[in-house]
A = this chain, B = another copy of it.
């Protein structure tokens, strides 16, 4: 019983997500949100709670709808394929929408006031989850012989994440898709090959 909602909650959340993606958590005002979603301030509060709660819901949706290439990547047969799929998918996502380039999980809240500390930490945690999944995948690859014994899965995971972060920063700075793909390719050129007589130079 009671009145029905006139607006679509999913659409409103998508609109908020795009604004957060472009301006970050603290850079986004409720005026921005209402203009983008076409609904009034109190409607946001009744539907999503306060601003922090809204951002967290937007972040969840972001991972569901846009970072869906992560589980796909982790299932690929080789560690190198996993890394390549992640890097090129990220380039695509970072440059797909001209009005909100880069990655929400990064510049949603990199630095900010003390009030934004909870969401900054939430983004750190979210990224840490992705890195842990990647590390575990690489540990499996090492156990399977896909990665050489001298390789360090946690370092490879951190390295791939660093390149992903760096490309997101560059995408936000306006870098072209082609340039970012070249960066990804360069990152992959260092990928540890499995032990073979002439594949690598002696240490």
Contact = CB atoms under 8 A, between A and B. Distances in A.
A132 interface: no
Q: How many copies does the complex hold?
A: 2
A152 B182 contact: yes
A36 B23 CA distance: 27
B186 A23 contact: no
A67 interface: no
Nearest to A199: B201
A14 interface: no
Interface string A126-169: 01100000000000000000000000101110110111111101
Interface string A178-202: 0100110111011111000011110
Interface stretch (A44-52, A70-78, A107-115): A107-115
A170 B192 CA distance: 22
Nearest to A193: B201
Contacts of A43: none
Contacts of A116: 27
Nearest to A127: B173
A110 B201 contact: no
B174 A158 contact: no
A117 to B, nearest CB: 10
Nearest to A25: B111
Interface centre among A106, A114, A158, A198 (most CB of B within 10 A): A158
A85 to B, nearest CB: 18
A127 B190 CA distance: 25
B172 A162 contact: no
